[in-house]
Structure 1
Amino acid sequence: MTTYPQPTTFPQGAGFQDGVWTQTLTPRAQTEGRAALFLDRDGVVVEEAHYLHKTEDVQLTPNAGETIKAANARGVPVILVTNQAGIGYGYFGWDDFVAVQTRILSDLNASGAHIDGVFACPFHEKAQGVYAAVDHFARKPNPGMLTLASQIMGVDLAKSWIVGDRSLDLQAGKNAGLVGGIHVWTGHGSKDGERAAALGVADYAFSASPATNLGDARSLISILL
């Protein structure tokens, strides 16, 4: 059995499944069978900070809290799904990740919003040691983090949506069988070709829509979910 690095202290509801971070903050009875709103973290919920690992660099994107709060009010589980190659590269560790997550959740709580689940994948083909993996099942654009969320939280993927700043976020949603995704202009979203690639993920079974940021996506999300 592979032994993976661990944080000094596990926060509420946190653990690992095959090296992938899993954290549930809401009882399954409240998420079972519901359509979920999956959110990429860096560049969507918080401003892109290039391997974010310092609490002082945490800054919510415009009106992110209001959008999440609106989903909370409708009983839509909000779930973060984040690639964390920085851990795999050895740039920072799980204690740094926990500290940043604690700050993000605190800042969202201050705006009356909450997150129901958090899934993070440290695996990458260029990672070190145990995190070195080619095409890992949980690393977006693969659907592993979303399918884990369905297994653990019971959310209905076939009714769910994802918001991301990269085409790989929407591709992960498509690969997981979601209804559709929203591409935002924040983070990596404004890079050349990124929007076109993200919207190009759409087909007859998966919708793709544009938005300026997560706050701007609020009205669209309220219609879709």
Structure 2
Amino acid sequence: MKLIILDRDGVINEDSDAFIKSVEEWIPIPGSLEAMARLYKAGYTLAIATNQSGIARGYYTVATLEAMHAKLQHLLAAHGAEVAYIAYCPHLGEDHCECRKPKPGMMLSIAQHFDIDPTQTLVIGDSLRDWQAAAAVGAGYVQVRTGKGERTLADGKLPADIPVFDNLADYTDSLLGAYTA
């Protein structure tokens, strides 16, 4: 199995420091859905690991989050693709849970779900905590510039050897070649 674990906000959809609080605010980054479909059609299994502390903050409900994910799945289905598993952490940092990135809980949950060694997975993210969660389980990591990506790169805390791409579509072109499926 070829498993890619994607962060959500800033990698798949537009991010906001004010949180994505509704289905209407959940807007795909141009080219991200097409990139996911290309990966899916090339034999990759797609999963998502996303911190969603807006739930604990009372900004939106689990039902709203599930509606956002239903929108994602619906839009992907139109491209002939799907996300096989979505893990999310509804907690605040001060809750000291094991699932909130940078802790590895969601990565381990996804690996367990698919019965795969997490070192055989690739994580695509836009923040230091995405890389930290990937590194904690020995997964490969790719950084994108979208979302919080530029800010993360500017702070200089990521290792210098991390591959960096403009966005998910740019990474997909690099991996699969710049053809259209």
**Fold match by TM threshold 0.5:** yes
Aligned to 2:15: 48
Counting only pairs closer than 5 Å after superposition, residues 42-191 of structure 1 correspond to structure 2 as 42-49=9-16, 50-126=18-94, 133-134=95-96, 136-178=97-139, 180-191=140-151
Q: Is the 8 A contact 1:183 1:195 kept in 2?
A: no
Identity %: 27
Aligned to 2:162: 208
Aligned to 1:38: 5
Q: Is the 8 A contact 2:104 2:136 kept in 1?
A: yes
Please list every run of at least 4 consecutive aligned residues from structure 1 whose deviation after the TM superposition is greater than 6 angstroms: none
Q: Is the 8 A contact 1:36 1:156 kept in 2?
A: no
How much does 1:155 deviate? 2.9
Q: Is the 8 A contact 1:66 1:113 kept in 2?
A: no
Q: Is the 8 A contact 1:143 1:175 kept in 2?
A: yes
C-alpha change, 1:222 and 1:144, in structure 2 (3 Å) is farther
Task: Give the number of equivalent residue pairs.
Answer: 176
Distance in 1 between residues matched to 2:154 and 2:65, nearest whole Å:
26
SS at match of 2:129: helix
C-alpha change, 1:83 and 1:73, in structure 2 (3 Å) is same
SS at match of 1:173: helix
How much does 1:96 deviate? 0.9
Q: Is the 8 A contact 1:62 1:214 kept in 2?
A: no
139-148 or 102-111, which deviates more: 102-111
**Greater Rg over alpha carbons, structure:** 1
For structure 1, the 5+ residue unaligned runs are 1-33, 127-132
C-alpha change, 1:194 and 1:102, in structure 2 (3 Å) is farther
Distance in 2 between residues matched to 1:195 and 1:118, nearest whole Å:
29
Q: Is the 8 A contact 2:126 2:152 kept in 1?
A: no
How much does 1:175 deviate? 0.5
What is the aligned-residue RMSD (CA, Å)? Answer: 1.9
Distance in 2 between residues matched to 1:112 and 1:52, nearest whole Å:
25
Distance in 1 between residues matched to 2:31 and 2:155, nearest whole Å:
21
Q: Is the 8 A contact 1:167 1:183 kept in 2?
A: no
Q: Deviations over 1:118-162 (max 9, x none)?
A: 000011234xxxxxx12x211111111010111122233222111
Which residue identity is paired with 1:42? D
